[in-house]
Amino acid sequence: MLNEKVFSKNLCDHCLGRLYSGLLSGHTSEERGKAIRLSMAMMIDSGKVETKEIDMSNFHDFKFRNGSKPGKKEKCWMCSDIFDNLDKLAEKCVKRLGNLEFSSFLVGSKVSGQIHAREEKMWEINGIENVETIKTEINRELGKRIERLVKKPVAFKRPDILILANLEKARYDLQIGSLYVFGYYSKRKRGFPQCKWGTPGVYKTSVQEIIAKPFLKATESKHNSFHGGGREDIDARCMGWRPFVIEIEKPVKRKISLAKMRQEINKGSKVKVKSLKFCDRDTVVRVKTERGEKAYRVTVLFSKPVDKSDLKKLYKLKGVISQRTPTRVSHRRADLVRKRKVLDIKYKRISSKKIELMVKTNAGLYVKELVSGNGGRTKPSVSSMLGVEATPKDLDVTMVQKTRNV
């Protein structure tokens, strides 16, 4: 196991010990390196090992009895003594963290191509069965030091902050993890979209902007993403509660009061929120993919009077609806015929040319087209059932099924 070829280059205790990381637990690479070096020094002193191929700098602080000459102290051939600088590097990283609020972090490091090449060279000499990479050791050793300085733990899964230490260029970059907050919103007014990106400049506000505003201020963030569990049309209200996750990007502050956020948002009359809670990225996927039941209320205007008794035909809409992608959304959704379900339908007659329709569906049914028929693309429809033109007006989402397990 004591391979003198390992000593053909001058290595520090860390770089030496990492070649044997897989052996014994409870020891650092540095300790392993010291032990291996001491053993080799004794082999040399016993005269059992030829020193011709050995870089004797490895033994600069040993005193041999058999006349072997220790070399001069030199920097580690592999790492140039990086590990001696880790305390300083840790301090630099902490400085870089500034006033960022976080509860966990992780270190990732980058070393030069030369270090990697030399590391591989040593692996060729001594085998890779028990090695650990230099990056892994730096990450761990730097992590330990930063842990002590900031008194926050390293987290391998979803750290708030990822510290990227480029040791070659002496650069320390931070990747700040987003802050995620789950909640339900209700849109109480018509005429503005859910997200701002859909129609830049056209609408003065959006559900996203209203909800994001106090969050951005409190977290000192500039950007956010909004993930809604479905969305309502610009001209529709959502009187039920729709699940969402707001993602605050690169927050400086994380310890914010959600009760205060709720109060701030709910001061306005357009959007209300409730049940805010911190969540993680998984919740975004859950909110976006969950397809629960929804209920709608819509006013329907007829092109000509419809008999009271004829309206009963509307109950037949309960069941499967075949719906080809509506013309109004065909620019952003594939042109397909989808099977959707009307789970329940009720109506209230207001006049011979006007009713209020209440529809319960599984997700994905376009209610406006269920009313109008969209030129035969939705079948059957209110229009086809009654044999009149039917126009939807004032659509409200009245219920969105709750997201489970959030």
Number of residues assigned to the chain: 406
Other C-beta atoms closer than 10 Å to the C-beta of 326 total 17
Angle subtended at Cα 366 by Cα 309 and Cα 329, rounded to the nearest 5 degrees: 140
Nearer to Zn ion, 79 or 385 (CB): 79
| Smallest distance from Zn ion to CB 19, Å | 11
> Judged by CB under 5 A, does residue 15 bind Zn ion?
yes
The yes-or-no answer on residue 233 being catalytic is: yes
| Residue listed under structure tokens 């976006």 | 288
Stretch that binds Zn ion, among 1-9, 15-23, 231-239, 263-271 (CB under 5 A): 15-23
Binding residues with Zn ion: total (CB under 5 A): 5
| Smallest distance from Zn ion to CB 36, Å | 13
| Smallest distance from Zn ion to CB 46, Å | 26
Any bridge partners for residue 358, and if so which? Answer: 297, 346
> For residues 37-96, which are near Zn ion according to CB under 5 A?
76, 78-79
Kindly compute the dihedral angle of the four CA atoms of residues 7, 11, 17, 22, in this order, to the nearest 10 degrees. -70
C-alpha 78/C-alpha 192 separation (Å) is 61
> For residues 160-199, which are near Zn ion according to CB under 5 A?
none
> Judged by CB under 5 A, does residue 12 bind Zn ion?
yes
Nearer to Zn ion, 115 or 397 (CB): 115
How does strand 354-362 pair with strand 337-351?
antiparallel
Stretch that binds Zn ion, among 6-14, 20-28, 202-210, 320-328 (CB under 5 A): 6-14
C-alpha 191/C-alpha 207 separation (Å) is 11
> Judged by CB under 5 A, does residue 115 bind Zn ion?
no
| Residue listed under structure tokens 């859950």 | 286
User: Residue 229 carries which side chain, given as an amino acid letter?
Assistant: G
Nearer to Zn ion, 12 or 276 (CB): 12
Nearer to Zn ion, 10 or 372 (CB): 10
Other C-beta atoms closer than 10 Å to the C-beta of 33 total 21
Catalytic pick from 45, 55, 173, 233?
233
Name the residues that contact Zn ion, by CB under 5 A. Answer: 12, 15, 76, 78-79
Catalytic residues: 233
